[in-house]
Structure 1
């Protein structure tokens, strides 16, 4: 335990300490902690930002980001095109930082991806602070390392997908809840509700999955009377609900003519977008639930569902490397604290992160259409449990050998009364130093049978640490075995695991502490080396997954369809020769029309919107099935000379609007805009014939 200062600091010094604790490590941090944390953050920055100029921009969201950067209407409502004719099929909150970055730095791929990098590094730093306050510096460093080297985290933080923002905001919410529990203050609980509400703006209902866990942990562990805790929970929940729904209510109150049509809805209703298209349709075969457009479920990816979703050959190597260790840590962490006061903070941490993991695993197992990158949200929970579990097992391991020391060999402790906090000394300081007098009472005298039983229990528990290392290293071999992707690292992992386990297992009274530390370091390295190999592979476009579904390694549909070459990255301001020729033709023949052209579904418009910020009427939205515009609306736009050209594709379903184009517009020869053949695309001129 860290030594507690006998003399409390002055008021001015306490103020400086409080400010330092908010933005840096405590003054009594171990000498190795600051350089170690700096190294982890440096590794995270390199992994997430390497080759950012060729980042994997999501085709759909990348187009929207450029449009949002050029129009306030498109920015606030998430317009897919600069004219704001139709929105994206998500809430726009996660893309606001990306759009601001593009507005500041210009339409560059790196500018769109930069906020994701910053958010990823901030998540690592924030998780370190949260775990440190819960389980100490050793656990915090392990948690930061595990999160940094989680393959799906590396792949996702180099893309433009909402889950990076979601993860950061939920980790911030967990930190606020932890502070609310340990300080008995209301403001951190309100802050927790705000973070959850902002996370809702990033990924909607998925942000609410943590609320039952947060509520249960607070009600079970927080100090105070049950009624007081319940009332505070209701207030925090009301804040979370209000912040979650503010965009929905603004969009609902805005006249339809003054905002984009909401993609994914059959009735242009924001509640249908959130609770239907992005909600109930993910759990039902009835894709039209709560106003979602027909065909919603069919348009999503298949597979990645069921009880084994987290450990299948595709998803498992992305995130599940520390899953057995996390489960073991949760079970033993809660069991070891049995009999402690209700307000035990160590047990609360295991309940918090274990509940986070269990809730997401349950929902993923019963929902449909899960992308592998969805699981990035459980990476902080796995990392925190891995760090907290290893710290717990290490303390039990050391307790066995401390108990075997002779009385004269034991380190001297300060007198108990010298450690009591003086009046006015900020209570939070004691938490940061790792000790709370409320939850660490003086041990009562025990008779010899009780001492013997405790000594026997300690003797058994010390073997959990090497066993956990061996289990985690063995599990890494299981996850990598189907592909043998980093098979050259497997012998390294085995040798490190053997050195660590044997070194820890064979420790004796005369063993040098340096030998023990070396064995522990080797064991931890054994658990990290294989997932690190998968994580680093994401820097190669061949092993980074599709732009619409980032993942690491030789797995997934994208890799299987392109086994010998990397998929082409779709950046901003980088039109292909075909798209450049089409844009040049449309711009040259434009005669003041509002829209450059109309396209059949976002699939047709995406490359044009990424290349040039122009009003484009996207018929059918993301799936091509959204009923906007109607055939009459399309005809009125043509008659009013606001639209002339339409681009149709055979890759998306026919709608009344596309039928109107085929019957009222003239097909243009592909050679007119630089192509030898249309392929799957056909350009039409809808100008009235004179």
Structure 2
């Protein structure tokens, strides 16, 4: 028993507790989390068909835009605990905590206990880790899986164990089935570390590497090839794909397009040019309006993180702003960003990811997410590799190289990528945390031993890191007060001076001052890591920061519940709350929720005349009321159901979400996330009606554009409009993204 107690690191316990608080506190207040994914979980609970494919809707007609592994895990938790926001978030909370522990156990054997503790603390307090882990987005589980694979790689190389190497590469394949090519970003580190560290004859080493790569490929492509080999008529449409193919989705939309930012496409066909697209929308809108529906034009786009500049830019063309108004400031986004992403390239400017270039990770738009400790990492790597000699390459050098080779290519990608969200930067967290611990201890040792010029690295790291922390925070002085940034700056300079003065002394407080210096460097990241709790978060596009930087355009929230400071933009002549924000046609990823504290804005108060898409997740989303079950609508549809399989079908998944999640009702989404996927033809829709599977159609919200305009026109042509007073609580209860939603009854 005493030996067991000695093996427990009592310093690790509060670090794990801190991670649990940052990742999990208040998740019980998030009603829908990222409702795009929560809706899928609700559908997956219905049957194995929906479960296997990760179907978005009850009919199993269209998938979400990612592979199913994380959703399988979330569905298992929802099966045990019931379908709630917290139950689908809980796996990611545990994954975030698990990542802290894995970093600790990976760093400790080679770099020592102090380095392991520092690395674990750094991992727990990387702000973007805390922001993402408290949502049901994929990335927290992805990072945990990649770290687990890395742990097996480290173990396998040290023990000369081929099966551990195979498991390591298999786990990367499993991660591919979570978020596709994003999992492969660490493969350079895997291959190079294996070649450097695995001790075996070259023939055996190469054979094992080939075998591991084969395992990686088989596990990666197993689900995709299986699904693509099934006839299209027997499986759902692959959401957000161009050719109804998982492989095309993986290597195109979720692959190369992320780097180039070019996603100018419509569902099932090339993206029409802006003029043609606008004309098509106007014609469809006119037809629908003539039948009593107020326009439903909207961006075609796909879930969340998943709309490129061309797609989104064209999606905004033709959108009906209140009273015919234009975008505020002539199309200029908050914080001086151009709507077109201008300087950022691709979606860079639009999604608050700064300008492409070598220093992108140090720009205001991104630096607060994961970059706080990069000065320490840089100087720490100098200390780690200062004594490197060709004949004296130690395991410390090899493992440090692994983390550095993870960090550099990923950092390079985000420096030039055309389209990503801020929370993707969680991929940088593990190498930053590990190199912080290993590098700080290396600098500490050189400082303690007064090792020439290397002894100055520690005081310099404290100085540069705290100056960088001040640079990040001072932009937000109007929101958080100048005390935070100034305090870190003063404390940093003070600790730097103390460390310089004590450099040649043997004072008993010397070690305490070193620890104090590190804690001063954490003032900024710890504060930022708490912002999703203190200021409110966004489960659709999560990010850390006190002023709503987790919104689509960096400075804006996404509608729905907002925390303090998450103030969206209010257009000229628009009535309603200023808390409403510009919508995103995105999910991830699907990406829009506001699970923070605050009061839901009134329905119909945003710039689009509806409640906004702020909502595709969280309380009060989708037009505020669309994100909740309207009891009048529910009762009407139930009372008038005459044996149909599905309660209703809708052109906008946001309208289906609360009925699937809260009421376990069977609902069809006709076009995936935004209504643009060509899931149904008019002939297939006619067959659904004639076979008695569905008769009510809710048209409006985001649908009616691109591949779905024919569907909307068919519904209007063959349906009978139900007066709003009969099926909604109030005249604005059916408000969708583009205006009032309309309920049609279709009988053939």
TM-score (structure 1 length as normaliser): 0.82
User: How many Å separate the matches in 2 of 1:78 and 1:632?
Assistant: 25
Q: How does 1:354-373 map to 2 (within 5 A)?
A: 354-373=404-423
- Long gaps (5+) in structure 2: 272-300, 302-306, 313-346, 558-565, 570-577, 580-596, 601-616
Q: Given that residues 181 and 221 in structure 1 are in contact (C-alpha distance below 8 angstroms), is that contact kept between their aligned partners in structure 2?
A: yes
Q: Given that residues 473 and 484 in structure 2 are in contact (C-alpha distance below 8 angstroms), is that contact kept between their aligned partners in structure 1?
A: no
Q: How does 1:529-678 map to 2 (within 5 A)?
A: 529-540=523-534, 542-545=535-538, 547-554=540-547, 555=549, 556=554, 557-558=556-557, 559-561=566-568, 566=598, 568=600, 570=618, 579-649=630-700, 651-654=702-705, 655-674=709-728, 675-677=730-732, 678=734
User: How many Å separate the matches in 2 of 1:86 and 1:465?
Assistant: 55
- Matching residue within 676, 681, 685 for 2:740: 681
User: How many Å separate the matches in 1 of 2:541 and 2:193?
Assistant: 36
The equivalent of 2:448 in structure 1 is 398
Change (3 A) 1:111 1:311: same
User: How many Å separate the matches in 2 of 1:486 and 1:379?
Assistant: 27
What whole-Å deviation, never above 9, does each CA across 1:21-64 have from its counterpart, x for those lacking one?
xxx99x6x6xxx71110110011111211112113711211211
Q: Given that residues 627 and 654 in structure 2 are in contact (C-alpha distance below 8 angstroms), is that contact kept between their aligned partners in structure 1?
A: no
User: How many Å separate the matches in 1 of 2:106 and 2:628?
Assistant: 50
The equivalent of 1:525 in structure 2 is 519
Secondary structure of residue in 2 paired with 1:388:
helix
Secondary structure of residue in 1 paired with 2:441:
helix
What whole-Å deviation, never above 9, does each CA across 1:165-203 have from its counterpart, x for those lacking one?
111011112222222332322122112112111111111
Q: Given that residues 266 and 627 in structure 1 are in contact (C-alpha distance below 8 angstroms), is that contact kept between their aligned partners in structure 2?
A: no
Q: Given that residues 109 and 571 in structure 1 are in contact (C-alpha distance below 8 angstroms), is that contact kept between their aligned partners in structure 2?
A: no
The equivalent of 2:287 in structure 1 is none
- Matching residue within 26, 31, 35 for 1:51: 26
What whole-Å deviation, never above 9, does each CA across 1:475-505 have from its counterpart, x for those lacking one?
1011112212363223442344345323322
Q: Given that residues 543 and 551 in structure 1 are in contact (C-alpha distance below 8 angstroms), is that contact kept between their aligned partners in structure 2?
A: no
What whole-Å deviation, never above 9, does each CA across 1:650-680 have from its counterpart, x for those lacking one?
5344322112112111111111112325442
Residues 80-89 or 495-504, more deviating: 495-504
CA RMSD of aligned residues (A): 2.8
Q: How does 1:289-438 map to 2 (within 5 A)?
A: 294=271, 297=308, 298-299=310-311, 302-303=348-349, 304=353, 306-307=356-357, 308-342=359-393, 344-400=394-450
Change (3 A) 1:293 1:590: farther
Q: Given that residues 57 and 109 in structure 1 are in contact (C-alpha distance below 8 angstroms), is that contact kept between their aligned partners in structure 2?
A: yes
Secondary structure of residue in 2 paired with 1:505:
helix
What whole-Å deviation, never above 9, does each CA across 1:106-131 have from its counterpart, x for those lacking one?
12222121111111111101111001
The equivalent of 1:226 in structure 2 is 202
Change (3 A) 1:366 1:659: farther
User: How many Å separate the matches in 1 of 2:70 and 2:99?
Assistant: 15
Q: How does 1:456-467 map to 2 (within 5 A)?
A: 458-467=451-460
User: How many Å separate the matches in 1 of 2:634 and 2:89?
Assistant: 25
What whole-Å deviation, never above 9, does each CA across 1:340-366 have from its counterpart, x for those lacking one?
435x21111221111111111222233
Change (3 A) 1:249 1:577: closer
Cα deviation for residue 230 of structure 1 reads 2.5
Secondary structure of residue in 1 paired with 2:449:
helix
User: How many Å separate the matches in 2 of 1:140 and 1:246?
Assistant: 36
Secondary structure of residue in 2 paired with 1:548:
coil
Secondary structure of residue in 2 paired with 1:315:
helix
Change (3 A) 1:292 1:478: farther
Secondary structure of residue in 2 paired with 1:314:
helix
User: How many Å separate the matches in 1 of 2:474 and 2:401?
Assistant: 32
User: How many Å separate the matches in 2 of 1:509 and 1:208?
Assistant: 47
The equivalent of 1:212 in structure 2 is 188
Q: Given that residues 59 and 548 in structure 1 are in contact (C-alpha distance below 8 angstroms), is that contact kept between their aligned partners in structure 2?
A: no
Change (3 A) 1:169 1:622: same
Change (3 A) 1:156 1:286: closer
- Long gaps (5+) in structure 1: 1-15, 401-457
TM-score (structure 2 length as normaliser): 0.76
Corresponding position: 1:81 with 2:44: no
What whole-Å deviation, never above 9, does each CA across 1:405-438 have from its counterpart, x for those lacking one?
xxxxxxxxxxxxxxxxxxxxxxxxxxxxxxxxxx
Q: Given that residues 277 and 292 in structure 1 are in contact (C-alpha distance below 8 angstroms), is that contact kept between their aligned partners in structure 2?
A: no
Q: How does 1:144-155 map to 2 (within 5 A)?
A: 144-155=120-131
User: How many Å separate the matches in 1 of 2:210 and 2:243?
Assistant: 33
User: How many Å separate the matches in 2 of 1:681 and 1:460?
Assistant: 69
Q: Which structure: greater helix fraction? A: 1
Residues 54-63 or 41-50, more deviating: 54-63
The equivalent of 2:506 in structure 1 is 511
User: How many Å separate the matches in 2 of 1:292 and 1:373?
Assistant: 30
Q: Given that residues 277 and 290 in structure 1 are in contact (C-alpha distance below 8 angstroms), is that contact kept between their aligned partners in structure 2?
A: no
Secondary structure of residue in 1 paired with 2:239:
coil
In the alignment of these two chains, the number of paired residues is 604
Cα deviation for residue 299 of structure 1 reads 4.6
Corresponding position: 1:108 with 2:84: yes
Secondary structure of residue in 2 paired with 1:462:
helix
Change (3 A) 1:385 1:61: same
